[in-house]
A and B are shown apart, each in its own frame.
Chain A
Amino acid sequence: MIDVVTLEVFNNRLKAIAEEMQFTLERSAHSPSIREGADCSAGIFDRDGNLISQATALPVHLGSLGPAIEGMVKAFPVAGMKEGDVYIMNDPYAGGQHFPDIIMLVPVVHEGRVVALVCNLGHHQDIGGAAPGGNATNTTEIYQEGLRLPPLKLYDAGALNVAVEAILRANVRIPDIVWGDLVAQTAAAFVGRQRVRALWQEMGGGKFDEAVRSLQDVAERMSRRVIERIPDGAYSFEDYLDNDGIELDRRVRIRARVSVKGSDVHVDFTGTDSQVRGPFNAVPSVTLSAVRYVVRCITGDDIPNNEGAYRMVSIHVPEGTLLNPRAPASISCRAVTARRVVDCVMGAFAQVLPDVVPAASHGHSFSQRIGGIDPESGAMWVTSITGTGGMGARPAKDGVEAIQTDASNARNIPVEFFENYMPLQILEYGLRADSGGPGRHRGGLGLVWRCRLTRGEAVLSNRGERHYTQPWGLYGGMPGASSRYVLVRRDGARELIPSKGVFTMSAGDELHVYSCGGGGHGDPLDRDPALVLDDARRGKVSLESAREHYGVAIDPATWSVQREETEKLRQTLRKRRPVAGMVFDRGRIVESAGGPRAPVIDIGS
């Protein structure tokens, strides 16, 4: 049996190797998506394809490597792998998530035998297809999304497969950068290969395998300890995407039923809408990542990130649905769907873990692509605007204002960087007052972001969400504000634009983005009036909202709470409260033909 000291040393070493692979990839990559966005992941697997250790910069990658390895090993059995082989793939229908993510596998060979696998994933800046960057919101088949790579050998026993390089280069818009990133992935995998092999030799083979198994058992034991404390039962929840980018009036439903039995968790997505025409379908590994994310938040980041930590978690995604589409359904915008899957699973757990799970967060990083030709320089420009919204309020804390939550974690672009390169002037970048869901603990505020096109023409490709629904509040907390995008034309005309679509802008036109706040937690009438006063002084909550939602009367002349008036207001409001036991407040859901018939308020399930 492996002793606990060796096991802990081994665990730290594996974590460090995964991290070193990840750094090597981030450091040597050429494209901003990997270098700056850290949109990559690296892991070590045993020869049966079970995760030993993984470094993640984005939670959306938590379940991304295992299914890809499964796909590659199916095509190239481990027994036949040789020293110097490098395998790649990006096919979502063979274990990938979407085309820009190229997954690489390299065997660690010792004396002719594969002893472990190292693997990494990089999100490439372009992969061909209808739109640069591969994130168009109106594709209807995977063939429009770019170059599809089934599992194949990039290197065969150290020899480069030049055909693959040639095909890849011929199909992408920025061949040197894409190839450069693939070289970086190879460098990262080789670092991992070298370190794992050294560790294997240092430990002696049998001990390595034994330590791996022990470590997976440790992770399983730690996870089960937490899950077995959750009361057995089944907890259901559903939430919606605005639409699929094609049929703009049809909301898309995701349904999750979480069953907890002993220390096992099963999540069944039966009841989720059928696959859609637009690119918002997501293959099962996306849902796997989302479920693993929620489980990890519940069980804790201290548990070694290996297969054992998730052995007790299973999912069922019926074929032909949004979450398990049949080829060639379009899937490029799966990250948006992942956010809503997270919301669904959190909503289900919120019913049984009221002291743990936060109210819904903003649920989507706003993300637009704007580009055009700058008349001053004649050069083409294109940029993504990334922002975020508020975090949902927690059982014991307010939500954080404007911060990345769940699946994503990208930084924003400084105004002073932006204006240096784009014919855009940012007019405002601030917190959006009254957007946080009122509650005993308030939801975090969303953002206001306003810009003006200073010259030329531009095309705006909008990829928004939660225009037609709101981030839900919990246990008496009210929902956060929906997001809203407005085009203000040079002549002052205002156009409220839908969350997904393509629009044109001319010099002088302005785009105003208002992102969601997080949902509130607990009855706002129970919020300490002093905190409501603070929020009002800070302009985070208006005087009207303080009265209407929190029942707090504030005298703006002295910035003090009017005690008697507040008592009275709260008494009146309390009488109007809905029945006790309310779990969710979804607020306004814009109904549409075939859309959800969700009640305004749920009474749990």
Chain B
Amino acid sequence: MLLVGVDTGGTFTDVVCSDGERTGIFKVPSRPDAPGEALLEGVKRAAALLGARPEDVERLIHGTTVATNAIVQRKGAVVGLLTTDGFVDVLEIGRLKRSKLYDWNIDPETPSFLAPRERRRGVPERLDSRGRVLAPLHEARVKAEIADLIGRHGVEAVAVCYLFSYLNPQHELRTRELIAKGAPDLPVSLSCEVDPEYREYERTAVTAFDAYLQPVVKGYMGKLREDLAARRLNATLQVMQSRGGITSAELASSSPVNMVLSGPAGGVAAARHIAQATGYRNLINFDMGGTSSDVSLVIDGEASITTESRIGGYPVRVTTVDVSTIGAGGGSIAWIDSGGRLRVGPHSAGAQPGPVCYARGGREPTVTDASVLLGYLNPENFAMGQIRLDVRAAQQAVAALGKQLGMSTMETALGIHRVINAAMADQIRLMTVKRGHDARNFHLLAFGGAGPVHAPALAADLEIPAVLVPACPGVLAAFGLLTANVEHDQKLTCMQAAVGIDAAKLEAIYRELEKTCLERMARDAISPERCEVRRLADLRYRGQSAEIEVPIAARLGGDAVKAMIAEFHARHQRAFSYVNADSRVEFVNAKVVASYAMTKPRLDVPDGSGAATGKPYATRKACFVSGAVSAAIYHRADLRRGERYAGPAIVEQADTTLVVSPGQAFDVDESGNIVVRTGQGAREAQ
């Protein structure tokens, strides 16, 4: 059984493959012009690496930024939007709130670019708040508007969002039929299918995004499948969805907006796997790259998810892994502001020109330049030896900055690290507080090129006992592709008082949602009896605008409703530290998630030579807050399982560098993760 996970990024395409016994990891250059080529190249090399033929690949799992890029680069379809008459501007008006309080130069914060006003049309029709028809659908108007949108505006996809359609989809369904009569090939996204949940602005926006992405994603997936077929590769092509589960390319194409976080979801899926495999069930996942850092959580072995994610600043209400981005990365630029303060970021040198030490034209000192001067990074062996670091240039840039501050070069380099580490620790602490958690109850999972450089220092600041560095921190998202479950979810808003709810009616709604999920699982070749089906409910106190998700019983009766309400109170207490009377509890959304755990391959990373020495290969002078010391330098492959090593130490591997502070200790666990014990954890172990 040969599996290949391919995670396409801007510069590199990461590949992780497994035949059940052995695991292979490598990168191939991305081909933005022909993404399929990089994917096929990955398959070919993966097979060769494991001594097999490309035809032997059974499953090919893909993480892709095609949907996100289409949004960010504004390369989606020309969309026409049909709404209830009187409400064409909902998409442009949004929720009125601005994100910057003291800025007179803000830009519009709603995605009206998806369908500017001339491509938004109101259709006479109206439902009331119980889904009853107040005014029938004006069919002639639908036909006329569509004809005009196609004829005069060349629309390539249509989004339909009528008020209260989640309660009664008839008008939207009929609209699709009418469109199909005139234009059978025109992609149509209906709000009652994309996002059957109340709040018209959020639903309109996500439906319009879905339509905007339809032709792009269908085209991309179609081309991939053609390319595979042309080479007689029969591997099942699966795609990572935003909530961290996978599905077939075909199903993914039918709801493209669910792919907006396909890239980061792979990393979170891997984190979930690591949490379950290691028993460190609460993880803060810290992925630090060149420009920014992504932070997400695993709580009690499950990835934390959200329905409030934003893409390019716009709300995209699909269920996604809950990833927060901090504007701090290895490329963050250090500078002095008009008040004389040393600042780091948010501007970044990114990958181009990159830090000064890359010698690609960068002139302003960055975090990575400081890391080089502090002795953390090996100039001779950085990024798999692909970049030779120019230490002199980095030194000059940092020295110049230090001169303005009246500080030595080393003080300045250390200062850059202290500032960015403290800022990241503050942000991580806030991010956990906002979600009702205490960072001290978590372990820190460090990945991305720069993550392990900073994580041990961050963990000390956050009072986190241990840092985990997975075997392949540079390609963790690709790794996650091989460990993810096949997953489908469905939801429906049915707002009503929770006490005295009509359990039979609700049961029918859940069954309907389950049926749809299981149908989709069947299309992914998974029979119903193999699926794990979970029922969830969103509840809140009447008058609140945010809901809390509560797991509920498989079959709804009186006791199950009582239990649901009790669980809601308990969760509300935990999150907001108070409860209200039962009478105020309101049922908002019914949700179902069906999943199937694919056979997980062993993902052991072969330790290079096979003969781990357990010894450092050199020592190097490195600077920490406590002073300059001689640090032991290890090749990761030389670390032996079960042995303990002491900081200060630096562990080098192809895709990252781990920097262990003085006083910290580390070892390698059963699964091949390095575990750095900071303060609390190290004391416990002694």
**Interface, chain A (partner B; CB < 8 A):** 3-5, 7-9, 11-13, 15-16, 19-20, 23-24, 27-28, 30, 32, 35-36, 56, 58-59, 180, 183, 187, 218-219, 221-222, 225, 293, 296-297, 300-304, 356-358, 386-388, 394, 396-397, 400-405, 409-412, 414-417, 419-420, 425-431, 447, 450, 537-540
CB pair A420–B430 under 8 Å, yes or no, is: no
| Interface residue? B93 (CB, 8 A) | yes
A11 to B577: give the CA distance in the assembly, Å: 29
In the complex, identify which listed stretch (B59-67, B81-89, B269-277) lies at the interface while the others stay far away: B81-89
Tell me which of A5, A36, A400, A429 contacts B342 (CB under 8 A). Answer: A5
Which residues of chain B have C-beta atoms less than 8 A from A58's C-beta?
101
For window 75-103 of chain B, which residues contact chain A by CB distance below 8 Å?
86-90, 92-93, 95-98, 100-103
A16/B426 in contact, CB under 8 A: yes
Asked if B337 is an interface residue, CB under 8 A from chain A, the answer is yes
Contact A412 B96 (CB under 8 A): yes
Instruction: Flag if B422 contacts A430 (CB, 8 Å).
Output: no
Q: Are B341 and A11 in contact (CB under 8 A)?
A: yes
Interface status of B343 (Cβ within 8 A of chain A)? yes
Q: Residues of A contacting B407 with CB < 8 Å?
A: 3-4
Contact indicator A301/B102 (Cβ below 8 Å): yes
Q: Which of B21-29, B105-113, B504-512, B556-564 contacts A (4 or more CB under 8 A)?
A: B105-113
- Asked whether A416 and B199 contact (CB < 8 A) given A4-B342, A5-B342, the answer is yes
Asked whether, in the complex, the Cβ of B339 is within 8 Å of the Cβ of A218, the reply is: yes
Judging by beta carbons under 8 Å apart, are B338 and A411 in contact? Answer: no
CB<8 Å pairs between A and B, sample of 30? A4-B340, A4-B407, A5-B414, A8-B342, A8-B419, A9-B419, A13-B422, A16-B429, A28-B577, A32-B543, A32-B544, A35-B544, A36-B544, A187-B577, A218-B339, A225-B338, A303-B339, A358-B104, A401-B92, A404-B96, A410-B97, A411-B96, A414-B198, A414-B199, A416-B163, A416-B200, A430-B86, A431-B93, A537-B118, A538-B117
| Per-residue interface assignment for chain B, residues 415 to 439, with 1 indicating a CB less than 8 Å from any chain A CB and 0 otherwise | 1001100110011011001101000
Chain B residues in 8 Å Cβ range of A15: 426
Which residues of chain B from 7 to 50 have any CB-CB distance to chain A below 8 Å in the complex?
A: none
Report Cα–Cα, A119/B117, bound state, in Å: 46
Q: Which residues of chain B are near A8, meaning CB under 8 Å?
A: 341-343, 419, 422
Least CB distance, A470 to chain B, in whole angstroms? 20
Are B101 and A409 touching (Cβ within 8 A)? yes
**Contact for A420 among B98, B107, B340, B495, CB less than 8 A:** B495
Are B96 and A402 in touch, CB under 8 angstroms?
yes
Given A12-B426, A13-B426, A303-B339, also A28-B100 (CB < 8 A): no
Flag if B199 contacts A301 (CB, 8 Å).
Answer: no
Question: Inside 8 A of B576's CB, which chain A residues have their CB?
Answer: 27-28
User: What residues of B have a CB within 8 angstroms of the CB of A28 in the complex?
Assistant: 576-578
* B342 and A221 contact, CB distance less than 8 A: no
Taking the closest CB of chain B, its distance from the CB of A446, in whole angstroms, is 11
Rounded to whole angstroms, the CA-CA distance of A210 and B92 in the bound complex is 49
Shortest Cβ-Cβ A-B pairs, 7 listed: A218-B339, A5-B415, A538-B117, A16-B426, A428-B86, A430-B89, A222-B339
Contacts of A420 in B (CB 8 A): 129, 198, 495
Q: Would you call B164 an interface residue if the criterion is a C-beta within 8 Å of the partner chain's C-beta atoms?
A: yes
Q: Are B337 and A302 in contact (CB under 8 A)?
A: yes
Question: Would you give the shortest CB distance from B219 to chain A, in whole angstroms?
Answer: 29
- Expressed in whole angstroms, the Cα–Cα distance for A329 and B128 within the complex equals 45
Number of interface residues of B (CB under 8 A): 65
Q: Does B405 contact A (CB under 8 A)?
A: yes
A59 to B411, CA, bound (A): 38
**Is the beta-carbon distance between B101 and A222 smaller than 8 angstroms?**
no
A283–B545 alpha-carbon span in the complex (Å): 33
Q: A414-B200, A417-B198 are in contact. Are A447 and B422 (CB under 8 A)?
A: no
Which residue of A has the minimal Cβ distance to B542?
A421
Q: Nearest Cβ in chain A — how far from B313, in angstroms?
A: 14
Check B423–A12 contact: CB distance below 8 A: yes
B501 contact set on A, CB distance < 8 A: none
Residue of A9, A16, A431 with highest tally of chain B CB at under 10 A: A9
Question: What's the Cα separation between A304 and B163 when bound, in Å?
Answer: 44
Knowing A16-B429, A301-B101, the reply to whether A429 touches B90 (Cβ < 8 A) is yes
- Asked if B338 and A27 sit within 8 Å, CB to CB, the answer is no
Q: Which residues on the B side are within 8 Å of A4 (C-beta)? A: 340-342, 405, 407, 415
Closest to B344 in A: A8
* Cα of A540 to Cα of B93 in the assembled complex, Å: 13
Residue of B nearest to A430 (CB): B89
Q: Knowing A222-B337, A415-B163 touch, does A30 contact B578 (C-beta < 8 A)? A: yes
Please, how many angstroms separate the alpha-carbon atoms of A218 and B341 in the complex? 8
Q: How far is the CB of A301 from chain B (nearest CB, A)?
A: 4
Nearest to A418 among chain B residues (CB) is: B129
* Alpha-carbon distance between A431 and B91 when the two chains are bound, in angstroms: 11
Q: State A285–B606 Cα separation when bound (angstroms).
A: 67
Extra contacts besides A403-B106, A415-B200, A538-B118 (19): CB < 8 Å: A8-B341, A8-B422, A20-B433, A27-B436, A27-B575, A32-B545, A36-B545, A225-B338, A301-B103, A388-B96, A403-B97, A412-B95, A415-B87, A416-B199, A420-B129, A420-B198, A426-B86, A431-B92, A537-B118
In the complex, the answer to whether A400 meets B107 with C-beta atoms within 8 Å is: yes
Contact assessment for B544 and A403 in the assembled complex, using a CB-CB cutoff below 8 Å: no
Of chain A, the residue at the smallest CB distance from B341 is A8
**Is B679 positioned at the interface, with any CB of A under 8 Å from its CB?**
no
The CA-CA distance from A16 to B439 in the complex, in Å, is: 14
Of all chain A residues, the one with the shortest Cβ separation from B203 is: A416
- A297/B102 in contact, CB under 8 A: yes
Determine the chain A residues whose CB is within 8 A of the CB of B198 once the complex forms. Answer: 414, 416-417, 420
CB distance from B685 to the nearest CB of A (A): 25
Judged by a CB distance under 8 angstroms, whether B116 is at the interface is yes
A56, A183, A417: the one within 8 Å of B199 (CB): A417
Is the beta-carbon distance between A394 and B87 smaller than 8 angstroms?
Answer: no
Residue of A nearest to B421 (CB): A9
* B568: Cβ under 8 A from any A Cβ: no
Contacts of A387 in B (CB 8 A): 96
Residues of A within 8 A of B430 (CB): 16, 19-20, 23
Q: How far is the CB of B428 from chain A (nearest CB, A)?
A: 10
Q: Are A394 and B341 in contact (CB under 8 A)?
A: no
Q: Which residue on chain B has the smallest CB distance to residue A220? A: B339
- On whether the beta carbons of A296 and B102 are closer than 8 Å, the reply is yes
